[in-house]
Amino acid sequence: MIQPGIFSGYFPYDLATAAGKIRAHGFNTVQLDLHFKDMDLGRGQITQDKCERIRNTFRDHNLPVSCISGYTNIVHPDAQERQRRNDYLKEIIAHAQYLGSPYVISETGTFATDSDWVHHPRNKTEEGWEQCRAVIQELAQHAYDHGAVFLLETYVNNVVGSVEETLRMFAEVDHPGLGLLMDPTNYFEDHNIDQMDKTLNQVFDALSDKICIAHAKDVKRAGGDKSEKHSDIGDADAAESHTFRGVGEIELPAPGLGALNYDLYLRRLAKRYPNIPIIIEHLTEDDVPRAKAFLDGKLRANGV
């Protein structure tokens, strides 16, 4: 059966407390965020000993690590900032072998400077594509060299956003060090959100063979508020990837709070990957019981 998990970053505590709280909710896997109150895991501070302590703590709580967060803007337009960000991502990738999972995830970035999730015209140019492809090629090779796999998480406002762009990137970077994080909500825009089942089927028809890990959030029209939306998750140091809730026409709330056809999503996912981890996101800690009950209910109802 599909394995429900959650990002560890929604539990902003020391390592042992975070693992204990996640296990108390009944999860049996995590997507690991390298952020704990009792450990410095910033640039230049990741060590094998720290990684093995993290891995063993989650294992001791029956919470195997299924994947690792490495989210950053991999095509940041400032060359020095791009190098700084990607060097840290490479550091995470190089230590994945000690953290319990080979899979390290990031979105594909934007040439905007004020947000990692807003559109920039350069994102959809051949020049922008070629720069992104070069970075992804380098990250895939770096991952392969360290026994890891770099997973793309596509998003409509980033360089790689559509199904067609995702297929093109995998065709041009045909590499064993590259895989896909499946989050169907990231493919929805104003033009296709009212064609829910058709869009979901297109995503899975095209991309099923690339999937390694899945995410569970939701999608809906944003209504009158078209601004970039963030949520207060109770941690002043939280990464923006955890507080982000959508921009423009589309809002990305927690699972069960939007319009995603979860029955179809889970059936398509389970058809090829019956035991895949599916990681809950875009919520606050106090909403975890509701979100998990929703996902558990959908999994149970669909027999997956």
20-47 tens-digit pLDDT: 999 999 999 999 999 999 999 999 999 9
Of the two residues 247 and 105, the one the predictor is more confident about is: 105
In this structure, are strands 211-216 and 277-280 parallel, antiparallel, or unpaired?
Answer: parallel
Q: Calculate what percentage of the chain has a pLDDT beyond 90.
A: 87
Enter the DSSP assignment of 130.
H
Separation of alpha carbons 181 and 280, rounded Å = 13
Q: Can you tell me the mean pLDDT for 42-56?
A: 97
Question: Within 10 A of 45 (CB to CB), how many other CB atoms are there?
Answer: 11
| pTM (2 d.p.) | 0.94
Query: What is the C-alpha to C-alpha distance for residues 22 and 30, in angstroms, rounded to an integer?
Result: 8
Tell me how far apart the alpha carbons of residues 68 and 7 are, in angstroms, rounded to a whole number. 9
Ordered alpha helix ranges (H), the chain: 15-24, 48-60, 79-99, 126-145, 163-172, 196-207, 240-243, 262-272, 288-301
Residue 109 region by backbone torsions, left for phi larger than 0, else alpha for psi between -120 and 50, else beta: left
Amino acid 114: pLDDT = 82
Q: Residue 228: what pLDDT?
A: 55
| Cβ neighbours around 232 below 10 Å, total | 9
Least confident of 62-66, 171-175, 250-254: 250-254
If you average pLDDT over residues 271-300, what whole number do you get? 97
Q: Which domains, ranges and CATH numbers included, belong to the chain?
A: 3-301 (3.20.20.150)
**Cα 152 to Cα 70: distance, rounded to the nearest angstrom:** 10
Distance CA 212, CA 149 (A): 9
CA–CA dist 96, 94 (Å, integer): 6
Backbone phi and psi for residue 260, each to the nearest 5 degrees, phi listed first? -60, 135
Tokens describing residue 259: 């319009």
Q: What is the pLDDT of residues 121-161, one digit of tens each?
A: 999 999 999 999 999 999 999 999 999 999 999 998 899 99
Please determine, for residue 244, whether its predicted confidence score (pLDDT) is greater than 70: no
Cβ atoms of residues 58 and 29 within 8 Å: no
| Mean pLDDT for the chain overall | 93
**What average pLDDT does range 71-77 have in this prediction?**
96
Residue 147: what residue type?
A: G
Residues linked to residue 214 through DSSP beta bridges, in sequence order:
182, 278
Across the range 183-188, mean pLDDT stands at: 96
Does residue 259 surpass a pLDDT of 60? yes
What's the pLDDT score for residue 242? 60
Mean pLDDT of 7-15: 97
Pairing outcome for strands 220-221 and 229-230: unpaired
Q: At 226, is the secondary structure helix, strand, or coil?
A: coil
| Mean pLDDT confidence for 184-208 | 96
What's the pLDDT at 248? Answer: 62
CA nearest neighbour of 186 among 257, 80, 260:
260
Q: What is the pLDDT of residue 167?
A: 97
